[in-house]
Structure 1
């Protein structure tokens, strides 16, 4: 089949058959990735025939609404091909909650396949626009898709193999709907829980997060979907915990804390990186050549595509006010290292600004060619330059995987013996007991969560109240009452043997999810206080994307406290199994839980204070209870060619099987600079039967033991210093001298 590119008149031969274009394969097929050199050579062949306007279009990303009837949710517009020929976009995207019609997996597959065909007919070289989306816990914008726990919960599972499995399942669903590019995973650290994107992180500790990032990138890309490391760099530590705010980061903190997850993702082969929407040390990252070129490409060796976040070049003019107009902002951003601009709603304005910047000498033709080449190479690696089978439009029924994932996240923080629930009358209440919106959190159907956008679909989820009723063991009766009927609820509480109250944050995303007080709504706190006043055993189940502060009169009085994070589609079923004792609580906190707002920013790797004291959190990193207990013994550490290997014997000393999860901490020798008393460097984890003992080992790469030394305003250098290192695993302290 041959297509004529409308603007240039160039005849492009494509080896696409009608049957291949219009029929769907029975299952999604992973497209083999081309080697970098071959992909770049094919990209060069297309680039050398492109006009200036085509190159500018290639580095722009348009919202796929531009190609739908009326510019809003609907079928593909009759003139969509003409729009492609006008805009010439290198990429299209869905912004979260935006949908084709019909808004079904089949509808998505057909719409995106049609856009791919129109791109082949109307874009240079017959290379279609690549479609990108935020599939951050499953294919979360598509009705009918299974939604998995958000990243913070997966951080609590401390199980990279599970994270990789979920990423691979997400990639399979994406390919079934002809989606090629995922704006995931978040490689930012969760260091300030007030921040609205805290729940999108895997936790606070650099190397523990790095392991999860490696798993996520590997899972997505082995499934044929491009991963995106975001947001480079320092986005997760904004001032005052406010989204897109300035972060003050020293060179030492940059290398010791913020770069390890990105290093891990780049080593895993991540094909793209998204820039930080905020600023670092007073410089917007979208205009920082030091960050996007010198650091990312020079020091870290990244060779893929750098994409902006939403409208962030415009933000240089209108929000940060660092540049006088869009032409100057565009030039600064492109020269800094942005290859592709996510400018979905005003592509023409950006294209005009970039053209003026190039023709006026503010951006060199060489730099524009470099950006366009990276975009074309990216698409070549994804197989978009060749014929490929269509996605089936049928996504996987992933409920069993979702339940297993949710069960792995659950973290028990308090238990006075009320759990497991074996007999008696159980009363369940609270706004999160049957709310899909709270249980799923943000980035679910709509960008801000269920019920908050232009798609009214409410996913079918296993909620706590329903699951407790449906799976109650013999001898347990369950009733549920909404918290709004307070008098009736308190009367029922008097006759209950156990009260389960499910509280949680309303769904939100980005700045709308900032929570400066780390608080629940006052009415939820009053509900908990009223139920505690009954003197009946109260089981608090919290569904939230961060640690929540309880008033002091409640903080130390909770008989049972379960942190459920944002557990996804099967959260209720997983919780019911744990509360009834059919399963345990394998989750451990992936962050430090402060006891007050004054302790926000307290992390496990905080160095000693000058006064000699150390503030204690309410719950430390790695904390969690279970229905059993563990003992550690026989700790050992030996030097290896690549670092250090530590081994410890872990024994299940309780009466039930369970999952032992132990963070391995390292203490470094004196280096002349403040060092963490405990630096988390890895995890040992195993499922152990009652009475079982097993030797568990962890290989610690040398880079995880590097000290970054240097004076306050000087350069830093990372190196493993000679001296004595102490490794803590459970109750074991093992010392090893390194030369």
Structure 2
């Protein structure tokens, strides 16, 4: 493991896991009500009777609020059937912040059931519009729902089985409310933490993210909800860390870094893919046939539905300025491979542009038929062509699962024996100590987070201050003071034995969540400085969707530092258990934590530099401390038919996690010193020893070789491979 820049406190260790999630998958687990071939046959029968206008409507998506009174949160409008007959949309969606009345799970179930019935009455072939939404950490737009940790935290748990369980629970709640389609999971890599969607990723490493994507797709679709891989491809490496920016990606990097999570999701049976809102190598992805057809369908073999992101046809004209007008932009996107356009506020404008493009010969009728057929096939697979039972309108109480998930994410970065807190007077403060908005992050009730949209509901969450008070062990007393009253706070700090300060980012999403400085608000930094100035032991709990850079003088003085990510509804309860020592800190960083802005872009798979120096991060990928210790031994690697079996014996107490890294033989191209190829995790009783094994598919060992501007070829090269697991290594010659 790479050593952090600075010496950390009591370093508990990372170990291996018997709960392995193998990368080899057998495909989707039963979301389609019909096999694709049968669904396509039924879809073709409907398509053959459709008019040009009906086909154009079928490949467009209208916002949910178009069917509500006053086009805002409210009951379904009396003329909703007429609106369906006018727009003829193949799909509807809610992007967050608009809701039916009553805004309850039962209200959602009834409203969507009503829209389904109106669609059957007013749309071609009696096939209703499919409803899609961003349920990205639970059914996050619905008041009363349990919200789970965001993906970045789940990446820190390195537990695909847990991710699958959460996805299945989300799907069950969606189906209870008659929702069929989730715009999730994010298969982008988190390579630039300044980017506003960094917290929506599972981390930086391709194959580790691929395991999470497989789990998420299988969980959603086994629960009856279509998954969406997004955003194909390269969205997570935008220039300057700005959302929807251009990414410069070599062919080699494309295959080695960016495609593995999408490959995994397609193999798992993902029914839809959403296109990247930005551009790659100067070409907007929504107009790239090379990316959306040649690569996605040709090379990766995807056979499902390709959907645009929000209003991205307009961006070709008004933002990217790559196309002269909407008609040409529409034609370019449809011809590139977009099947369904997410133009929720301007369905009529898009429809008129597409009709002009078809009638003018810019888009062939065959291509329009292909897109409409994919849309109809998608709905047939989901059972929308048949009568089906209504959702119950009752969603599960997921608090126990949410607490277990949050507990698995918590990552201890510093500890000089300040933790666990066993006795004395504890003072808790900071803006994140009792804030549902900070704790939940973006995509929570509203698109930009709690308190930022049309829905004023504030979820009930277990906050840190409340949980610390409610669950304090004998001998510990807890007081909580807001940070706004600084004089009173510092006076109270003088009599405290331990200070716990909870800091964090305000909730936001997409471009509004960009953080170019990787910084906290200056007031929070000053609060931390003031508290450290008291000389009392300070525990920093950070709730954030990315690594944050603290001033060096503060970073070096932290007695204890906990990264909590965006832990969801039960984050406070999980944190209290860990801080009091009732539980440990099983989380490990799913990204590289830079020490400065100049190190943004430093990742675990970065090849050696020509100058010979190797910059060290503040904390490397996979880093994390705990209250436990371990020993490893007997590392082995054995070749099997299509994989390498790597094993190690671990003696430990508690739960520990190891990233397995592979060093490849020289291939003529730059290659990482150690490529992350899998994760193992284990929970052991005191002094228990266990032999753990990970099966590494050989495709994870492929080197992509080729000259600077030539084609690349992926192959497992002959030579010696070294596998590292903690302090153990094993060597093996292939083939």
TM-score range, shorter chain: over 0.9
Superposed counterparts of 1:271-350, under 5 Å: 271-350=271-350
SS across alignment from 2:566: coil
Partners of 1:252 and 1:631 in 2: how far apart? 38
Superposed counterparts of 1:365-376, under 5 Å: 365-376=365-376
Superposed counterparts of 1:578-589, under 5 Å: 578-589=578-589
Superposed counterparts of 1:328-727, under 5 Å: 328-652=328-652, 657-727=653-723
SS across alignment from 1:137: coil
Partners of 1:595 and 1:34 in 2: how far apart? 52
Aligned to 1:158: 158
Contact 2:31 2:226 in 1 (8 A): no
Partners of 1:282 and 1:629 in 2: how far apart? 50
Partners of 1:622 and 1:32 in 2: how far apart? 37
Displacement of 1:416: 0.3
1:112 aligns to 2:86 (yes or no): no
Contact 2:195 2:513 in 1 (8 A): yes
CA displacement 1:151-198 (0-9 Å, x = unmatched): 000000000000000000000000000000000000000000000000
Aligned to 2:14: none
The TM-score, its normalising length taken from structure 1, stands at 0.95
Contact 1:31 1:388 in 2 (8 A): no
SS across alignment from 1:690: strand
Partners of 1:557 and 1:634 in 2: how far apart? 38
1:192 aligns to 2:192 (yes or no): yes
Aligned to 2:27: none
Aligned to 1:140: 140
> Structure 1: 5+ residue runs without aligned partners?
1-29
Displacement of 1:522: 0.3
Aligned to 2:726: 730
Contact 2:31 2:221 in 1 (8 A): no
Contact 1:192 1:236 in 2 (8 A): yes
Partners of 2:524 and 2:617 in 1: how far apart? 24
Displacement of 1:32: 5.2
Q: Which moved more, 1:627-636 or 1:83-92?
A: 627-636
CA displacement 1:413-432 (0-9 Å, x = unmatched): 00000111000000000000
Aligned to 1:9: none
Partners of 2:641 and 2:656 in 1: how far apart? 28
Contact 1:152 1:200 in 2 (8 A): yes
1:37 aligns to 2:37 (yes or no): yes
CA displacement 1:81-139 (0-9 Å, x = unmatched): 00000000000000111111111101000000000000000000000000000000000
CA displacement 1:492-512 (0-9 Å, x = unmatched): 000000000000000000000
Contact 1:410 1:587 in 2 (8 A): yes
Partners of 2:37 and 2:240 in 1: how far apart? 45
Displacement of 1:33: 2.3
Partners of 1:85 and 1:33 in 2: how far apart? 27
Aligned to 2:127: 127
Partners of 2:519 and 2:631 in 1: how far apart? 36
1:252 aligns to 2:252 (yes or no): yes
CA displacement 1:495-554 (0-9 Å, x = unmatched): 000000000000000000000000000000000000001110000000000000010111
Aligned to 2:22: none
Contact 1:426 1:478 in 2 (8 A): yes
SS across alignment from 1:449: coil
Contact 1:195 1:238 in 2 (8 A): yes
The TM-score, its normalising length taken from structure 2, stands at 0.96
Superposed counterparts of 1:261-276, under 5 Å: 261-276=261-276
Displacement of 1:296: 0.1
Higher RCO (CA-CA < 8 Å; seq separation 6+): 2
SS across alignment from 2:650: strand
Displacement of 1:712: 0.3
Partners of 1:433 and 1:493 in 2: how far apart? 16
Displacement of 1:31: 6.9
CA displacement 1:279-320 (0-9 Å, x = unmatched): 000000000000000000000000000000000001100000
Contact 2:414 2:561 in 1 (8 A): yes
Partners of 2:260 and 2:331 in 1: how far apart? 30
Partners of 1:472 and 1:315 in 2: how far apart? 53
> Structure 2: 5+ residue runs without aligned partners?
1-29
SS across alignment from 2:274: strand
Contact 1:197 1:513 in 2 (8 A): yes
Displacement of 1:203: 0.1
Aligned to 2:4: none
Aligned to 1:5: none
Contact 2:96 2:445 in 1 (8 A): yes
Contact 2:31 2:222 in 1 (8 A): no
CA displacement 1:404-453 (0-9 Å, x = unmatched): 00000000000000111000000000000000000000000000000011
CA displacement 1:559-590 (0-9 Å, x = unmatched): 00000000000000000000000000000000
SS across alignment from 1:628: coil
Partners of 1:602 and 1:658 in 2: how far apart? 31
Partners of 1:434 and 1:371 in 2: how far apart? 48
1:182 aligns to 2:179 (yes or no): no
Contact 1:31 1:383 in 2 (8 A): no
